[in-house]
Amino acid sequence: MLKAERVKYILQRLQDIYPETPVPLDHSDPFTLLIAVLLSAQCTDKRVNLITPALFKLADKPADMATKSVQEIRDIIRPCGLSPQKSKAIQRLSEILLEQHAGKVPAQLEALERLPGVGHKTASVVMSQAFGVPAFPVDTHIHRLAQRWGLTSGKNVVQTEKDLKRLFPQKYWNRLHLQIIFYGRDYCSARGCDGRVCEICRTCYPLRKHPKKTLKA
């Protein structure tokens, strides 16, 4: 199967399996989404969703979060891991939103990336899911699947993002990055598939005899 054929097949198959793509992190507005995505670093979405109700009861607006101490925030988010760094980032970014953005989450990628604790992937998720701006957030799971499916040979998520943006029409980006994440969790996990087990891997590479070794992000 040629790469163009793989792209077409993957796009259609993911649409068949996941016609709806709800954001897996519970949130009510751009600020709560930003905080939830920040918390999801090295933490499962399921655990984040268990923790954010208490956090957002404490404060769900930048003006309120900025008044809370780092320790108050950390006491709630501790189960997410990296709580010392994340609690400081949440408190400080709330202050910055008040100081520089009138208490609003900016709808510009560069402005988001300048906030403490907000990297390119987190900023891309907020741009796509909060503001509907085309973006293709790539995490380690998408990076792994893109290699298994022969869509990239990139050694890091930066190159993989460039390759996926080049291969898939922009109008599909926001939905597709979620569809790939969902598929990876359900059928093509790190332990559940080695490039020869799941339907998409077998269809893209029916003659693959050895496990596909993927380059770490």
Residue among 161, 182, 162, 209 nearest 13 (CA): 182
C-beta of residue 203 within 8 angstroms of C-beta of residue 190 = no
Q: Which of 139, 155, 171, 213 is catalytic?
A: 139
Active site residue 139: yes
What tokens were used for 94?
Answer: 């709330």
What tokens were used for 164?
Answer: 């996926």
State the DSSP string of 77-90. Answer: HGGGS-HHHHHHHH
C-beta of residue 125 within 8 angstroms of C-beta of residue 35 = no
C-beta of residue 19 within 8 angstroms of C-beta of residue 27 = no
Return d(Cα 54, Cα 161) in angstroms, integer: 34
Burial class (CB in 10 A: 0-12, 13-18, 19+), 5: exposed
Active site residue 194: no
Q: Which of 121, 186, 212, 216 is catalytic?
A: 121
Residues marked as catalytic: 121, 139
